[in-house]
């Protein structure tokens, strides 16, 4: 399954061919809600965005003419609150994949807001969108000489206690640091002595988390893009671009419902990913959160530079 293509006119008046997806991902590659929300909603009004392929460097166009749903990804989606009414007025549905970790003591996420502020943002978004429309991710789970399995469970429990009644699900993944050489380099240069997960440690964690969840919260538990089968602990494989959740969020949109009925897994994602087809419009090297484990930034300097350029050109058709 591929996105439909249509002819549009760009900001210069030139006729160009654009993909016209029904579902937009905003974005796996950068934190659009935190740093580019105003730009994104301006581009929604303009009707298209110019997207640069991170591997080939080629530019292409993405039209919002057919867009019926947006999946946001963020560690600080507070700026979305002032824009949600715009989406509702135009009949565009959304939900938020909200990465809400607690690595404050370890300094792994140097530029995210304080934890309590992020918890309050989660609750405000649920009040605005409804329970289920804000998905809690503790992602990734990192082991270091200071962060053990017990430490992670304590961190998760602290947040989980605060989100009872505000979320239905907890999604997590196990950090695979050695697969991303720039990540392992950044952690080592920052003095972080990380440890890789193996199957035995994954199963110990899964068993303990499952028990905690059963005794305290009763969330659905799910892994993101993991091959390991943890179903014996009541843990499923997640689909972050989730047809079930999208369908539930937009029950009266027959065009979207027909698409979801026939939707296939997006073969452009990692092999263990269960997401259905969407179009991501983000860009690498643009997120000033500068988390030490991030695979999407080559360096903090490049991320800050690109963000500064975007702020200086807020009406441009591309993040880059």
Q: Range of 58's domain?
A: 5-312
54 confidence band (pLDDT: 50, 70, 90):
confident
Model pTM? 0.97
pLDDT at res. 285: 96
Kindly report, residue by residue over 72-99, the tens digit of the pLDDT.
999 999 999 999 999 999 999 999 999 9
9-28 burial code (b ≥16 CB/10 A, e <16): eeeeeeebebbbbbbbbbbb
- Cβ proximity of 36 and 314 under 8 Å: no
Q: How many structural domains are present in the chain? A: 1
Distance CA(281)–CA(61), nearest Å, equals: 10
Query: Taking all residues of the chain, what is their mean pLDDT, rounded to a whole number?
Result: 96
Task: State the greatest distance between any 2 C-alpha atoms of the chain, in Å, as a whole number.
Answer: 60
CA 208, distance to chain mean position in Å, is 26
Distance CA(269)–CA(263), nearest Å, equals: 15
In which residue are the tokens 């962060």 written? 147
In which residue are the tokens 């983000």 written? 282
Q: What is the chain's percent helix, strand, coil content, to nearest 5?
A: 35, 20, 45
DSSP H or E run through 69: strand 69-74
Distance CA(141)–CA(224), nearest Å, equals: 11
pLDDT at res. 1: 66
Kindly report, residue by residue over 4-50, the tens digit of the pLDDT.
999 999 999 999 999 999 999 999 999 999 999 999 999 999 999 99
Which residues are 50's β-sheet partners?
61
Axis-axis angle for helices 115-129, 149-163 (nearest 10): 40
Is 72 a domain residue?
yes
Is 317 a domain residue?
no
Is 318 a domain residue?
no
Is 263 a domain residue?
yes
Distance CA(51)–CA(278), nearest Å, equals: 14
180 confidence band (pLDDT: 50, 70, 90):
confident
Distance CA(268)–CA(270), nearest Å, equals: 7
DSSP H or E run through 19: strand 15-19
Is 319 a domain residue?
no
268 confidence band (pLDDT: 50, 70, 90):
confident
Cβ burial of 257 (10 Å; 0-12, 13-18, 19+) is middle
Distances (CA, A) of 19 to 50, 61, 84, 87, 279: 10, 6, 24, 20, 9
117 confidence band (pLDDT: 50, 70, 90):
very high
The dihedrals phi and psi of 206, each to the nearest 5 degrees, come to -60, -40
Is 282 a domain residue?
yes
DSSP H or E run through 144: strand 143-144
Is 25 a domain residue?
yes
Which residues are 15's β-sheet partners?
9
Closest CA to 6 of 44, 61, 46: 61
Is 289 a domain residue?
yes
- Cβ proximity of 188 and 145 under 8 Å: no
Distance CA(116)–CA(113), nearest Å, equals: 8
């Amino acid at each position: 399954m591929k996105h439909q293509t249509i002819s549009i006119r760009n900001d210069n008046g030139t006729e160009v061919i654009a993909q016209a997806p029904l579902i937009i991902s905003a974005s796996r590659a950068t934190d659009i809600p935190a740093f580019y929300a105003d730009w994104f909603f301006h581009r929604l009004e303009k009707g298209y965005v110019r997207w640069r392929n991170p591997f080939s460097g080629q530019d292409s166009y993405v039209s919002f003419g057919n867009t019926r749903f947006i999946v946001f990804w963020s560690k600080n989606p507070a700026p979305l609150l002032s824009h949600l009414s715009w989406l509702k007025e135009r009949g565009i549905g959304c939900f938020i994949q909200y990465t809400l970790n607690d690595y404050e003591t370890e300094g792994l996420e140097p530029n995210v807001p304080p934890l309590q502020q992020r918890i309050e943002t989660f609750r405000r978004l649920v009040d605005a969108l409804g329970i289920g429309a804000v998905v809690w991710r503790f992602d990734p789970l990192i082991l270091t000489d200071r962060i053990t399995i017990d430490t992670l469970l304590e961190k998760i429990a602290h947040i989980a206690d605060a989100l009872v009644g505000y979320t239905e699900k907890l999604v997590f993944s196990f950090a695979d640091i050695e697969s991303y050489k720039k990540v392992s380099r950044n952690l080592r240069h920052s003095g972080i002595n990380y440890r890789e997960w193996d199957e035995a440690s994954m199963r110990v964690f899964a068993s303990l988390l499952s028990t905690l969840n059963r005794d305290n919260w009763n969330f659905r538990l799910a892994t993101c893009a993991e091959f390991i089968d943890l179903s014996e602990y009541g843990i499923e494989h997640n689909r972050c671009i989730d047809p079930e959740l999208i369908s539930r969020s937009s029950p009266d949109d027959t065009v979207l419902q027909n698409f979801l009925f026939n939707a296939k897994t997006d073969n452009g994602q990692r092999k263990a990913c269960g997401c259905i087809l969407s179009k991501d419009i983000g860009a690498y090297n643009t997120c000033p959160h500068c988390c030490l484990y991030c695979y999407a930034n080559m360096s903090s300097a490049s991320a800050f530079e690109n963000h500064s350029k975007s702020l200086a050109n807020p009406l441009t058709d591309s993040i880059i």
